Chain A
Amino acid sequence: MRESHLKILQYIAGIGLFFLVGTHLIVTLLIGDPTSWESVSARAASAGWLAFYTLFLIFGLYHGIHGLRTIILELPIPKPPARVIDGTLVAIGIAIFGYAVYIPISAFGAL
Protein backbone atom coordinates (compact mmCIF):
# COMPACT_ATOMS: atom_id res chain seq x y z
CA MET A 1 0.00 0.00 0.00
CA ARG A 2 1.34 3.40 -0.88
CA GLU A 3 1.75 6.07 1.77
CA SER A 4 -1.03 8.12 0.15
CA HIS A 5 -3.47 5.20 0.52
CA LEU A 6 -2.61 4.86 4.21
CA LYS A 7 -3.01 8.61 4.70
CA ILE A 8 -6.41 8.69 2.98
CA LEU A 9 -7.60 5.87 5.25
CA GLN A 10 -6.29 7.91 8.21
CA TYR A 11 -8.37 10.90 7.12
CA ILE A 12 -11.46 8.71 6.61
CA ALA A 13 -10.98 7.11 10.03
CA GLY A 14 -10.56 10.54 11.58
CA ILE A 15 -13.76 11.88 10.04
CA GLY A 16 -15.58 8.69 10.98
CA LEU A 17 -14.35 8.93 14.56
CA PHE A 18 -15.71 12.45 14.79
CA PHE A 19 -19.22 11.07 14.27
CA LEU A 20 -18.71 7.83 16.19
CA VAL A 21 -17.18 9.49 19.26
CA GLY A 22 -19.81 12.20 19.11
CA THR A 23 -22.58 9.63 19.08
CA HIS A 24 -20.90 7.68 21.88
CA LEU A 25 -20.62 10.82 24.03
CA ILE A 26 -24.23 11.78 23.38
CA VAL A 27 -25.43 8.29 24.32
CA THR A 28 -23.28 7.95 27.43
CA LEU A 29 -23.56 11.49 28.76
CA LEU A 30 -26.81 12.98 27.60
CA ILE A 31 -29.42 10.25 27.13
CA GLY A 32 -31.03 8.58 30.11
CA ASP A 33 -28.95 6.42 32.39
CA PRO A 34 -26.52 4.73 30.04
CA THR A 35 -24.63 2.81 32.73
CA SER A 36 -27.64 1.04 34.19
CA TRP A 37 -27.80 -2.72 33.67
CA GLU A 38 -30.92 -2.39 31.50
CA SER A 39 -29.32 0.17 29.27
CA VAL A 40 -26.02 -1.70 28.90
CA SER A 41 -27.67 -5.03 28.20
CA ALA A 42 -30.05 -3.41 25.69
CA ARG A 43 -27.09 -2.03 23.75
CA ALA A 44 -25.20 -5.32 24.06
CA ALA A 45 -28.15 -7.22 22.61
CA SER A 46 -28.55 -4.86 19.67
CA ALA A 47 -26.99 -5.81 16.31
CA GLY A 48 -26.93 -2.13 15.39
CA TRP A 49 -24.93 -1.19 18.46
CA LEU A 50 -22.63 -4.18 17.90
CA ALA A 51 -21.94 -2.92 14.39
CA PHE A 52 -21.48 0.62 15.76
CA TYR A 53 -18.91 -0.40 18.36
CA THR A 54 -17.10 -2.71 15.96
CA LEU A 55 -16.76 0.16 13.50
CA PHE A 56 -15.70 2.45 16.34
CA LEU A 57 -13.02 -0.06 17.28
CA ILE A 58 -11.75 -0.45 13.70
CA PHE A 59 -11.59 3.31 13.05
CA GLY A 60 -10.08 4.06 16.45
CA LEU A 61 -7.48 1.32 16.19
CA TYR A 62 -6.46 2.24 12.66
CA HIS A 63 -6.27 5.97 13.42
CA GLY A 64 -4.33 5.42 16.63
CA ILE A 65 -1.92 2.82 15.33
CA HIS A 66 -1.24 4.70 12.11
CA GLY A 67 -0.58 7.80 14.21
CA LEU A 68 1.79 5.81 16.40
CA ARG A 69 3.51 4.47 13.28
CA THR A 70 4.03 8.02 12.02
CA ILE A 71 5.54 9.09 15.34
CA ILE A 72 7.84 6.07 15.61
CA LEU A 73 9.08 6.33 12.02
CA GLU A 74 9.88 10.02 12.48
CA LEU A 75 11.76 9.66 15.75
CA PRO A 76 15.42 10.58 15.20
CA ILE A 77 16.72 7.54 17.07
CA PRO A 78 18.18 4.25 15.90
CA LYS A 79 15.30 1.94 15.09
CA PRO A 80 14.56 -1.28 13.23
CA PRO A 81 13.69 -1.19 9.53
CA ALA A 82 10.29 0.30 8.66
CA ARG A 83 8.96 -3.11 7.58
CA VAL A 84 9.63 -4.55 11.05
CA ILE A 85 7.88 -1.61 12.70
CA ASP A 86 4.93 -1.91 10.31
CA GLY A 87 4.61 -5.65 10.88
CA THR A 88 4.82 -5.29 14.65
CA LEU A 89 2.16 -2.59 14.74
CA VAL A 90 -0.16 -4.57 12.46
CA ALA A 91 0.24 -7.60 14.73
CA ILE A 92 -0.49 -5.48 17.83
CA GLY A 93 -3.52 -3.96 16.11
CA ILE A 94 -4.94 -7.33 15.12
CA ALA A 95 -4.37 -8.69 18.64
CA ILE A 96 -6.09 -5.71 20.25
CA PHE A 97 -8.95 -5.91 17.76
CA GLY A 98 -9.41 -9.61 18.39
CA TYR A 99 -9.48 -9.15 22.16
CA ALA A 100 -11.67 -6.05 22.11
CA VAL A 101 -14.24 -7.33 19.62
CA TYR A 102 -14.58 -10.62 21.50
CA ILE A 103 -16.31 -8.87 24.39
CA PRO A 104 -19.25 -7.25 22.54
CA ILE A 105 -19.65 -10.31 20.29
CA SER A 106 -19.81 -12.69 23.22
CA ALA A 107 -22.17 -10.33 25.06
CA PHE A 108 -24.38 -10.16 21.95
CA GLY A 109 -24.39 -13.95 21.75
CA ALA A 110 -25.13 -14.36 25.46
CA LEU A 111 -27.98 -11.89 25.48
Chain B
Amino acid sequence: MQELTFKVQRYLPGKDKKPYIQEFIVPLRKGMTVLDGLIHIKENIDNTLSYRSSCRMGICGSCGAFINRFPRLACHTPVEELGTGIIEVKSLPNFPIIRDLVADLDPLFEKHKSMKPYILGSEMEKAERPSSQLLQSREALESYAQFSYCVKCGLCMSACPTVATDPLFIGPQALGQAYRYCVDTRDTGAKGRFREADSRHGIWLCHLAGACSEACPKGVDPALAIQLLRRAMIFDVLRLSKAKKPAPVAHPPAESKPKIAVPEFTVK
Protein backbone atom coordinates (compact mmCIF):
# COMPACT_ATOMS: atom_id res chain seq x y z
CA MET B 1 0.00 0.00 0.00
CA GLN B 2 1.38 3.42 -0.85
CA GLU B 3 2.01 5.79 1.98
CA LEU B 4 2.16 9.52 2.35
CA THR B 5 4.32 11.50 4.75
CA PHE B 6 2.38 14.27 6.41
CA LYS B 7 4.60 16.98 7.93
CA VAL B 8 2.18 18.80 10.17
CA GLN B 9 2.78 21.96 12.14
CA ARG B 10 2.24 21.51 15.86
CA TYR B 11 2.02 24.24 18.41
CA LEU B 12 0.49 24.34 21.87
CA PRO B 13 0.71 27.80 23.47
CA GLY B 14 2.06 27.67 26.97
CA LYS B 15 3.85 24.41 26.31
CA ASP B 16 5.77 25.06 23.07
CA LYS B 17 7.99 28.08 22.60
CA LYS B 18 7.42 28.05 18.85
CA PRO B 19 5.72 25.87 16.23
CA TYR B 20 7.48 22.70 15.13
CA ILE B 21 6.89 20.02 12.51
CA GLN B 22 5.73 16.50 13.37
CA GLU B 23 5.73 13.72 10.78
CA PHE B 24 3.00 11.16 10.32
CA ILE B 25 2.74 8.25 7.89
CA VAL B 26 -0.71 8.03 6.34
CA PRO B 27 -1.88 5.26 3.96
CA LEU B 28 -2.84 6.58 0.55
CA ARG B 29 -6.41 5.94 -0.57
CA LYS B 30 -7.82 6.71 -4.00
CA GLY B 31 -9.43 10.15 -4.17
CA MET B 32 -8.06 11.14 -0.79
CA THR B 33 -7.84 14.80 0.16
CA VAL B 34 -5.48 16.49 2.60
CA LEU B 35 -8.37 16.77 5.04
CA ASP B 36 -8.87 12.99 4.83
CA GLY B 37 -5.24 12.65 5.82
CA LEU B 38 -5.65 14.97 8.81
CA ILE B 39 -8.78 13.11 9.90
CA HIS B 40 -6.89 9.81 9.64
CA ILE B 41 -4.09 11.22 11.81
CA LYS B 42 -6.53 12.46 14.43
CA GLU B 43 -8.58 9.28 14.52
CA ASN B 44 -5.78 6.71 14.35
CA ILE B 45 -2.44 8.21 15.32
CA ASP B 46 -2.62 11.36 17.41
CA ASN B 47 -5.97 12.63 18.63
CA THR B 48 -4.40 15.82 20.03
CA LEU B 49 -3.98 17.25 16.52
CA SER B 50 -6.17 20.35 16.15
CA TYR B 51 -7.57 21.67 12.92
CA ARG B 52 -10.80 23.22 11.65
CA SER B 53 -13.15 21.49 9.28
CA SER B 54 -16.88 21.30 8.72
CA CYS B 55 -18.55 20.68 5.38
CA ARG B 56 -15.78 18.59 3.73
CA MET B 57 -16.92 19.93 0.36
CA GLY B 58 -15.33 23.35 -0.16
CA ILE B 59 -18.30 25.51 0.77
CA CYS B 60 -17.78 26.52 4.41
CA GLY B 61 -14.18 27.75 4.19
CA SER B 62 -13.21 26.32 7.61
CA CYS B 63 -10.31 24.07 6.64
CA GLY B 64 -7.94 26.65 5.16
CA ALA B 65 -4.30 25.69 5.65
CA PHE B 66 -0.84 26.31 4.18
CA ILE B 67 -0.39 23.11 2.20
CA ASN B 68 2.91 22.58 0.40
CA ARG B 69 3.69 26.29 0.64
CA PHE B 70 0.37 27.54 -0.75
CA PRO B 71 -2.90 28.44 0.98
CA ARG B 72 -5.55 25.86 0.11
CA LEU B 73 -8.70 24.33 1.51
CA ALA B 74 -7.69 20.95 2.91
CA CYS B 75 -10.98 19.35 1.86
CA HIS B 76 -10.66 20.74 -1.64
CA THR B 77 -7.06 19.53 -2.23
CA PRO B 78 -6.71 15.97 -3.50
CA VAL B 79 -3.30 14.65 -2.45
CA GLU B 80 -2.68 13.46 -6.00
CA GLU B 81 -2.95 17.07 -7.19
CA LEU B 82 0.12 17.95 -5.10
CA GLY B 83 2.24 15.53 -7.14
CA THR B 84 4.39 14.43 -4.20
CA GLY B 85 4.29 11.92 -1.39
CA ILE B 86 5.31 14.53 1.16
CA ILE B 87 2.49 16.77 2.33
CA GLU B 88 3.47 19.74 4.46
CA VAL B 89 0.56 21.30 6.34
CA LYS B 90 0.85 24.48 8.37
CA SER B 91 -1.61 27.03 9.68
CA LEU B 92 -2.56 29.93 7.42
CA PRO B 93 0.19 32.57 7.26
CA ASN B 94 -0.55 36.21 8.12
CA PHE B 95 -2.79 35.09 10.99
CA PRO B 96 -1.80 34.38 14.61
CA ILE B 97 -1.86 30.71 15.59
CA ILE B 98 -4.28 29.51 18.23
CA ARG B 99 -3.09 25.92 18.19
CA ASP B 100 -1.56 23.50 15.66
CA LEU B 101 -3.37 24.24 12.39
CA VAL B 102 -6.01 26.51 13.90
CA ALA B 103 -5.42 30.16 13.00
CA ASP B 104 -7.00 33.16 14.70
CA LEU B 105 -9.21 34.60 11.98
CA ASP B 106 -10.45 37.57 14.04
CA PRO B 107 -8.39 40.06 11.97
CA LEU B 108 -10.18 38.80 8.85
CA PHE B 109 -13.63 39.21 10.41
CA GLU B 110 -12.85 42.66 11.88
CA LYS B 111 -11.65 43.97 8.53
CA HIS B 112 -14.66 42.42 6.84
CA LYS B 113 -17.02 44.10 9.33
CA SER B 114 -15.33 47.46 8.77
CA MET B 115 -16.58 47.39 5.16
CA LYS B 116 -20.22 47.04 6.30
CA PRO B 117 -20.80 43.84 4.31
CA TYR B 118 -24.61 44.07 4.15
CA ILE B 119 -27.20 45.95 2.14
CA LEU B 120 -27.42 49.53 3.38
CA GLY B 121 -30.78 51.00 2.43
CA SER B 122 -31.70 54.65 2.39
CA GLU B 123 -34.42 53.95 4.93
CA MET B 124 -33.39 51.82 7.85
CA GLU B 125 -37.01 51.18 8.83
CA LYS B 126 -37.74 49.61 5.46
CA ALA B 127 -34.46 47.70 5.56
CA GLU B 128 -35.34 46.15 8.93
CA ARG B 129 -39.04 45.64 8.23
CA PRO B 130 -39.34 45.26 4.49
CA SER B 131 -42.86 45.61 3.21
CA SER B 132 -42.04 44.86 -0.41
CA GLN B 133 -39.51 43.13 -2.60
CA LEU B 134 -36.69 44.82 -4.50
CA LEU B 135 -36.32 43.62 -8.08
CA GLN B 136 -32.98 43.03 -9.71
CA SER B 137 -32.35 42.36 -13.39
CA ARG B 138 -30.07 39.57 -14.53
CA GLU B 139 -27.46 42.14 -15.57
CA ALA B 140 -27.59 43.82 -12.15
CA LEU B 141 -27.14 40.45 -10.43
CA GLU B 142 -24.29 39.40 -12.70
CA SER B 143 -22.41 42.62 -11.92
CA TYR B 144 -21.71 41.34 -8.38
CA ALA B 145 -22.68 37.63 -8.29
CA GLN B 146 -19.10 36.37 -8.74
CA PHE B 147 -17.93 38.38 -5.71
CA SER B 148 -20.76 37.02 -3.58
CA TYR B 149 -19.27 33.52 -3.76
CA CYS B 150 -16.79 34.44 -1.01
CA VAL B 151 -16.86 31.93 1.85
CA LYS B 152 -14.56 33.95 4.15
CA CYS B 153 -11.96 31.21 4.21
CA GLY B 154 -9.04 33.66 4.53
CA LEU B 155 -6.88 32.04 1.85
CA CYS B 156 -6.62 35.33 -0.07
CA MET B 157 -5.46 37.16 3.05
CA SER B 158 -2.82 34.48 3.62
CA ALA B 159 -1.57 34.71 0.06
CA CYS B 160 -1.47 38.52 -0.04
CA PRO B 161 2.12 39.84 0.21
CA THR B 162 0.87 43.25 1.38
CA VAL B 163 -0.99 41.71 4.33
CA ALA B 164 2.30 39.98 5.18
CA THR B 165 4.16 43.29 5.41
CA ASP B 166 1.35 45.45 6.79
CA PRO B 167 -1.02 43.65 9.18
CA LEU B 168 -3.27 46.74 9.15
CA PHE B 169 -3.91 46.47 5.39
CA ILE B 170 -7.64 45.94 4.91
CA GLY B 171 -6.95 43.05 2.57
CA PRO B 172 -8.42 41.50 -0.55
CA GLN B 173 -11.33 39.75 1.19
CA ALA B 174 -12.82 42.90 2.76
CA LEU B 175 -12.13 45.04 -0.31
CA GLY B 176 -13.70 42.44 -2.56
CA GLN B 177 -16.80 42.38 -0.41
CA ALA B 178 -16.87 46.19 -0.30
CA TYR B 179 -17.12 46.20 -4.09
CA ARG B 180 -19.77 43.46 -4.00
CA TYR B 181 -22.06 45.65 -1.93
CA CYS B 182 -21.17 48.97 -3.57
CA VAL B 183 -22.28 47.71 -6.97
CA ASP B 184 -25.45 46.03 -5.69
CA THR B 185 -28.43 48.06 -6.93
CA ARG B 186 -30.23 47.53 -3.62
CA ASP B 187 -27.41 49.25 -1.69
CA THR B 188 -26.90 52.97 -1.01
CA GLY B 189 -23.79 52.79 1.20
CA ALA B 190 -21.02 53.10 -1.41
CA LYS B 191 -19.71 56.49 -0.25
CA GLY B 192 -19.16 55.28 3.28
CA ARG B 193 -17.29 52.22 2.06
CA PHE B 194 -15.20 54.38 -0.27
CA ARG B 195 -14.14 56.49 2.73
CA GLU B 196 -13.24 53.39 4.71
CA ALA B 197 -11.23 51.89 1.83
CA ASP B 198 -9.44 55.21 1.24
CA SER B 199 -7.36 55.03 4.41
CA ARG B 200 -3.57 54.83 4.57
CA HIS B 201 -3.84 51.06 5.08
CA GLY B 202 -6.57 50.80 2.49
CA ILE B 203 -7.04 49.96 -1.14
CA TRP B 204 -4.05 51.90 -2.47
CA LEU B 205 -1.60 49.51 -0.80
CA CYS B 206 -2.61 46.79 -3.26
CA HIS B 207 0.09 46.26 -5.87
CA LEU B 208 -1.86 43.82 -8.02
CA ALA B 209 0.24 40.79 -7.13
CA GLY B 210 -2.80 38.65 -7.92
CA ALA B 211 -1.93 36.02 -5.33
CA CYS B 212 -5.36 36.48 -3.75
CA SER B 213 -7.16 35.48 -6.93
CA GLU B 214 -4.79 32.58 -7.44
CA ALA B 215 -5.49 31.27 -3.93
CA CYS B 216 -9.26 31.82 -3.91
CA PRO B 217 -10.99 28.41 -4.04
CA LYS B 218 -14.35 29.85 -5.15
CA GLY B 219 -13.33 31.86 -8.21
CA VAL B 220 -14.18 35.20 -6.60
CA ASP B 221 -11.16 36.99 -8.16
CA PRO B 222 -10.69 39.61 -5.40
CA ALA B 223 -7.92 41.27 -7.43
CA LEU B 224 -10.48 42.16 -10.09
CA ALA B 225 -12.88 43.47 -7.41
CA ILE B 226 -10.12 45.68 -6.02
CA GLN B 227 -9.35 47.18 -9.41
CA LEU B 228 -13.04 47.76 -10.10
CA LEU B 229 -13.43 49.36 -6.68
CA ARG B 230 -10.45 51.61 -7.39
CA ARG B 231 -12.01 52.69 -10.65
CA ALA B 232 -15.31 53.41 -8.90
CA MET B 233 -13.49 55.46 -6.24
CA ILE B 234 -11.52 57.46 -8.82
CA PHE B 235 -14.66 58.16 -10.83
CA ASP B 236 -16.36 59.24 -7.62
CA VAL B 237 -13.54 61.70 -6.77
CA LEU B 238 -13.50 63.09 -10.32
CA ARG B 239 -17.34 63.21 -10.30
CA LEU B 240 -17.46 61.06 -13.42
CA SER B 241 -19.53 58.24 -11.96
CA LYS B 242 -23.01 57.66 -13.34
CA ALA B 243 -25.73 57.55 -10.74
CA LYS B 244 -26.53 53.94 -9.95
CA LYS B 245 -30.03 52.99 -10.99
CA PRO B 246 -31.63 51.79 -7.77
CA ALA B 247 -33.43 48.48 -7.67
CA PRO B 248 -37.12 49.00 -8.43
CA VAL B 249 -39.74 47.96 -5.90
CA ALA B 250 -41.88 45.01 -6.91
CA HIS B 251 -45.59 45.65 -7.21
CA PRO B 252 -47.49 44.04 -4.37
CA PRO B 253 -49.32 40.87 -5.42
CA ALA B 254 -52.83 41.54 -6.69
CA GLU B 255 -55.55 40.69 -4.21
CA SER B 256 -57.76 37.89 -5.31
CA LYS B 257 -60.90 36.39 -3.90
CA PRO B 258 -60.98 32.64 -3.31
CA LYS B 259 -62.96 30.80 -6.00
CA ILE B 260 -64.56 28.47 -3.47
CA ALA B 261 -65.87 29.95 -0.24
CA VAL B 262 -63.88 28.60 2.69
CA PRO B 263 -66.18 27.33 5.47
CA GLU B 264 -65.81 28.90 8.88
CA PHE B 265 -63.60 27.10 11.33
CA THR B 266 -65.57 24.99 13.77
CA VAL B 267 -62.79 24.97 16.36
CA LYS B 268 -61.94 28.44 17.56
Contact = CB atoms under 8 A, between A and B. Distances in A.
Interface of A: 2-5, 7-8, 73-74, 76, 82
Contact of A7 (B166, B194, B204): B204
Contacts of A2: 198, 237
A74 B204 contact: no
Contacts of A7: 204, 234
Contacts of B194: 4
B205 interface: yes
Given A8-B234, A8-B237, A8-B238, A3 B202 contact: yes
Interface string B214-239: 00000000000000000001100110
Nearest to A82: B200
Contact size range, B: 10 to 19
Interface string B198-209: 111010110000
A3 B165 CA distance: 19
A4 B204 contact: yes
Contact of B233 (A4, A73, A82): A4
Given A74-B165, A74-B205, A76-B165, A4 B199 contact: no
Contacts, number: 27
B204 A76 contact: no
B178 to A, nearest CB: 14
Contacts of A5: 237
Contact of B198 (A4, A73, A76, A82): A4
B213 to A, nearest CB: 21
Contacts of A4: 194, 198, 204, 233-234, 237
A91 B249 CA distance: 55
A74 B237 contact: no
8 closest cross-chain pairs (CB), A and B: A76-B165, A3-B204, A4-B198, A2-B198, A4-B237, A4-B233, A3-B198, A7-B204
A82 B166 CA distance: 14
Interface in B155-181: 162, 165-166
Contacts of B165: 74, 76
Given A4-B198, A4-B234, 7 more contacts: A3-B202, A4-B194, A5-B237, A7-B204, A74-B162, A74-B166, A82-B200
Contacts of B205: 74
A64 to B, nearest CB: 17
27 contacts: A2-B198, A2-B237, A3-B198, A3-B199, A3-B200, A3-B202, A3-B204, A4-B194, A4-B198, A4-B204, A4-B233, A4-B234, A4-B237, A5-B237, A7-B204, A7-B234, A8-B234, A8-B237, A8-B238, A73-B200, A74-B162, A74-B165, A74-B166, A74-B205, A76-B165, A76-B166, A82-B200
Interface in B121-140: none
A5 B165 CA distance: 24
Contacts of A3: 198-200, 202, 204
A8 B238 CA distance: 9
Nearest to A76: B165
B24 to A, nearest CB: 34
A2 B196 CA distance: 11
A4 B235 CA distance: 10
Contacts of A73: 200
A82 B234 CA distance: 23
